[in-house]
Copies of this chain bind each other. A is one copy, B any other.
Amino acid sequence: MTKTLTARRARLMGPNVPTFYRTPIHIVRGQGVHLWDAGGKQYLDCYNNVPHVGHCHPAVIKAIAGQAAILNTHTRYHHDLVLDYIEQLTARLNHGISQCIMTCTGSEANDIALRMAQAVTGKIGVIATDNTYHGNTAATSALSSRRPPIGGYPSHVRLVPAPDSLRNPDPDGAILAGHIQAAIDDLNAKGIGFSGMMLCPAFANEGIPTVAPGFFAKAEAVIRNAGGLILCDEVQPGFGRMGSHFWGHDWLGLTPDVVTVGKPMANGHPVAAVLARPDVMAAFRNAFGYFNTFGGNPVSAAACLATLQVIDDEALQANAAKTSAYVMDRLRALSHPLLAEVRGVGMFFGAEFVTDADNTPATAFVEDLVEVMVAKGFILNRIGRAGNTLKIRPPLPFNTDHADQLVDALQDALRSTPVPA
- Interface residues of chain A, those whose CB is within 8 Å of chain B, are 2, 5-6, 8-9, 11-20, 24-30, 35, 48, 50-51, 55-56, 58, 60-61, 64-65, 68-80, 83, 86-87, 90, 98-101, 103-108, 111, 114-115, 118-119, 124, 136-139, 141, 146-147, 149-151, 262-263, 268-271, 276, 278, 281-282, 284-294, 297, 299-300
CB-CB nearest in chain B for A268: B72
Most buried by B among A76, A100, A278: A76
Selected contact of A12 from candidates B55, B70, B100, B262, CB within 8 Å: B100
Docked complex Cα distance between A294 and B87 (Å): 26
Taken together as a complex, chains A and B put the C-alpha atoms of A150 and B29 apart, in Å, by 44
The answer to whether A147 and B25 have CB atoms under 8 Å apart is no
In the complex the two chains form, is B14's CB within 8 Å of A79's CB?
no
Q: What are 23 A-B contacts with C-beta separation under 8 Å? A: A5-B78, A9-B78, A11-B98, A12-B83, A12-B98, A13-B99, A27-B73, A28-B70, A30-B71, A61-B68, A64-B64, A64-B68, A65-B68, A105-B108, A105-B294, A107-B292, A108-B137, A111-B138, A115-B150, A138-B138, A138-B139, A150-B287, A269-B270
**Closest 10 interchain pairs by CB?**
A65-B65, A14-B281, A138-B139, A270-B270, A26-B78, A12-B86, A27-B77, A16-B285, A104-B270, A5-B78
CA distance A114 to B103 in the complex (A): 21
> Which residues from B are CB-within-8-Å of A106?
293
Tell me the smallest distance from the CB of A256 to a CB of chain B, in Å: 17
CB of A280 to closest CB in B, whole Å: 9
A135 to B117, CA, bound (A): 20
Residue among B56, B79, B105, B291 making CB contact with A70, cutoff 8 Å: B56
* B124/A151 in contact, CB under 8 A: yes
Q: Which residues in B have their C-beta under 8 angstroms from that of A9?
A: 78, 83
Which residues of B lie under 8 Å from residue A297 when comparing CB positions?
Answer: 268, 270
Which residues of B are found within 8 Å of A288, using beta-carbon distances? Answer: 141, 147, 149-150
- The answer to whether A29 touches B71, judged by C-beta atoms less than 8 angstroms apart, is yes
A50 in complex: contacting residue of B69, B74, B105, B115, CB < 8 Å: B74
Shortest CB-to-CB span from A257 to chain B, Å, is: 14
Extra pairs beyond A19-B76, A65-B68, A118-B151 (4, CB < 8 Å): A108-B108, A136-B292, A149-B288, A150-B287
How many angstroms between the C-alpha atoms of A16 and B278 in the bound complex? 12
When distances are taken between beta carbons in the complex, the residues of chain B under 8 Å from A105 are 103-105, 108, 292-294
Please give the distance in Å from A16's CB to the nearest CB on chain B.
4
Bound-complex Cα distance A268 to B75 (A)? 13
B136/A138 in contact, CB under 8 A: no
What are the residues of chain B within 8 A of A29 when measuring CB–CB? 70-71
Rounded to whole angstroms, the CA-CA distance of A6 and B77 in the bound complex is 11
A83: which B residues are within 8 A, CB to CB? 5, 8-9, 12
A300 → chain B, closest Cβ, in Å? 7
**Chain B: which residue is nearest A65 at the CB level?**
B65
A27 touches B139 (CB 8 A): no
Q: How far is the CA of A68 from the CA of B288 in the complex (A)?
A: 35
Q: Evaluate contact between B137 and A139: CB separation under 8 angstroms.
A: yes
Q: Pick from A65, A105, A293 the residue with the most CB of B within 10 Å.
A: A293
In the complex, what's the smallest C-beta–C-beta distance from A127 to chain B, in angstroms?
17
Q: How far is the CA of A79 from the CA of B61 in the complex (A)?
A: 20
Q: Which chain B residue has the least Cβ–Cβ distance from A272? A: B104
In the complex, the answer to whether B61 meets A24 with C-beta atoms within 8 Å is no
